[in-house]
Chains A and B, each alone.
Chain A
């Protein structure tokens, strides 16, 4: 009952905001607001691997790309069929079905990609895992570059605009609630135990490989959803959007905010996206000083600005999953 009330309230608030948010903040700020939302989804999901499970992935952009291209591909090529099947609905209803089908496919594709990458590479640790995820991310990008159906090197254009503030922030709420519940469950305790001491976790009977792959897949699914929302917001995709530098910026977000805290990831995503936009007119100056900021934070405060500070402490409630 409480749950249903929460979701109805979330839908109502977001739907209400959608009606006039653009007029209040202006078209430019609206765009930034939506990008912040997409980055929050990406940062919170990446934090599940890097922050909670303690595995270092720098290939998140790859799964983001899989989601973006899958969603856009399904919608562009399946548009007629889906619209035909839902012809009895009004335009808005058709669009909703279209977007949800696309996002579902994006989530499945990104999840499968996460599974395919995770199973072999999660045997590796630390630096090696980092570099292998980076490699996989780049392989995914090069593969996309060679698929003519999605534009290849020219980029993929003609994607209908289906996502907006409402959908992106609904995605944010779903991501945050899911990750929050997950890390509070017995699964979450398994993730954290792997981060804190993998050998001890294994000795305590935690199936470390299974949980590492699980966190990787869940994280990829949300990256895929973020990709789908991004594709249908900007209406154009190019493989270079998903270079590993994108993964680097996501890492900066979760590191600045504090690894292993959802609030940290959200703060980092907001801070980094907004700061980069505010200082956009300064060109390379902004990125130089940004890089220095990252180095200094890591030297002087390696746990991030918020550290492992959280509003709600993990593990206070008994887990529900076995």
Chain B
């Protein structure tokens, strides 16, 4: 019984991290009807941003091991991820929906900088390459090379796969392919609850997740932007006709979802400090499963789905075989899609003609 309760606690803290990630999937799916495959990789970037902030000399010297470090790491990583989310939306998904200037310049600047770094090997060479790429991109745009205004589901999905591959491999370039170890920003303390031991990390993960989810619920339900988000996700075209700046709302949704992914990255790194550029793939997929399980597009559904996936996985490892761990979520996915495709809290919708 006690081991069972222990497992439940582990499952809930693991699940609340999945829930944070699942929220990003569900919100983006709500406004764009797009599976944002790159979401798990944003979570990876969040973990690395936290790693670099925590190991930064200025932070170390001024804040040391105080609780302020944890707050700064958290806020910094969420900000980095929010910005990354906006960039991804602006330069990958928006051009997939229609024309948007400077797309080519942005991507060619990255290509140029990678070529500059490879050929020259120095920072000036990298910058020169980026500049050359950007100029080339603007030039090609002036010559009339514009995004094909063809917004199909499949196109966006493949763009998302591309962005995901880009972040994974870009992460290997920028952070190195070998794993790093996330510093202990929360001191470990074991707390006895009856016969159970809970460490301070797990409690932090649970507490922070709950606070973030409450905040998100407040934003969505009680602010004007939140109302606009709900309107866009209900019907994008109608929202546009009502004078909502839909592009801005979509960008805001990405920022919000990505910030939560960043927070998730930090929280999971507290539990499992080993971080590497490919760490986002599996949690990303599982969080997506959680979003589908809860009913994609539904915010409370994502939270419940995350908890269920977390619990199921911990139970599968605890009472089954650990090698089957990664299959648990997918088996749940297959079952839920076959039995109740709309998920636990989703609305039944029929495919529009």
Binding site for B on A (CB under 8 A): 56, 120-121, 123-128, 130-132, 134-136, 138-139, 142-143, 145-146, 153, 199, 245, 248, 251-252, 255, 282, 284-285, 287-292, 294-296, 298-302
| Inter-subunit contact A127/B321 (CB<8 Å) | no
Give B128 Cβ to nearest chain A Cβ, in Å. 17
Q: How far is the CA of A298 from the CA of B155 in the complex (A)?
A: 6
Does B101 sit at the interface, judged by CB under 8 A?
A: no
Within B142-188, the residues touching A (CB, 8 Å) are 145-148, 150, 152-155, 157-159, 161-163, 165-166, 169-170, 172-173, 177
Complex interface: chain B residues within 8 A of A292 (CB): 107, 110-111, 162, 166
| Also in contact, A296 and B107, with CB within 8 A (given A124-B337, A139-B327, A302-B148) | yes
Can you show 14 pairs from A to B with CB atoms below 8 A apart? A124-B341, A128-B341, A130-B157, A131-B292, A142-B326, A153-B323, A288-B169, A289-B114, A290-B169, A296-B107, A298-B155, A298-B158, A299-B103, A301-B148
| Inter-subunit contact B330/A136 (CB<8 Å) | yes
Count of A-B contacts with CB under 8 A? 134
Binding site for A on B (CB under 8 A): 33-35, 92, 95-96, 103-104, 107, 110-111, 114, 118, 145-148, 150, 152-155, 157-159, 161-163, 165-166, 169-170, 172-173, 177, 285, 288-289, 292, 321, 323-324, 326-327, 330-331, 333-334, 337-338, 341, 351, 353
Give A273 Cβ to nearest chain B Cβ, in Å. 16
Give B209 Cβ to nearest chain A Cβ, in Å. 24
Find the B residue at minimum CB distance from A56.
Answer: B154
Interface of A is mostly: helix
Complex interface: chain A residues within 8 A of B169 (CB): 284, 287-288, 290-291
Of the listed residues A126, A245, A284, the one surrounded by the most CB atoms of chain B closer than 10 A to its CB is A284
Q: How far is the CA of A298 from the CA of B148 in the complex (A)?
A: 9
Of the listed residues A128, A132, A299, the one surrounded by the most CB atoms of chain B closer than 10 A to its CB is A299
| Inter-subunit contact A143/B166 (CB<8 Å) | no
| Inter-subunit contact A296/B104 (CB<8 Å) | yes
| Also in contact, A287 and B165, with CB within 8 A (given A125-B351, A131-B288) | yes
| Inter-subunit contact A132/B337 (CB<8 Å) | yes
- Cβ-defined partner of B153 (8 Å) among A127, A248, A252, A284: A127
| Inter-subunit contact A291/B166 (CB<8 Å) | yes
Find the B residue at minimum CB distance from A126.
Answer: B153
Complex interface: chain A residues within 8 A of B327 (CB): 138-139, 142-143
| Inter-subunit contact A294/B162 (CB<8 Å) | yes
| Inter-subunit contact B331/A139 (CB<8 Å) | yes
Complex interface: chain B residues within 8 A of A302 (CB): 148, 150, 152, 155
Complex interface: chain B residues within 8 A of A132 (CB): 333-334, 337
Q: How far is the CA of A153 from the CA of B321 in the complex (A)?
A: 14
Complex interface: chain B residues within 8 A of A131 (CB): 35, 288-289, 292, 333, 337
Complex interface: chain B residues within 8 A of A136 (CB): 330, 334
Q: How far is the CA of A300 from the CA of B141 in the complex (A)?
A: 11
Give B139 Cβ to nearest chain A Cβ, in Å. 15
Complex interface: chain B residues within 8 A of A130 (CB): 35, 157
Q: How far is the CA of A265 from the CA of B170 in the complex (A)?
A: 27
Give A199 Cβ to nearest chain B Cβ, in Å. 6
Complex interface: chain B residues within 8 A of A134 (CB): 285
Find the A residue at minimum CB distance from B326.
Answer: A142
| Also in contact, A299 and B159, with CB within 8 A (given A139-B331, A292-B107) | yes
Give B261 Cβ to nearest chain A Cβ, in Å. 18
Give B47 Cβ to nearest chain A Cβ, in Å. 18
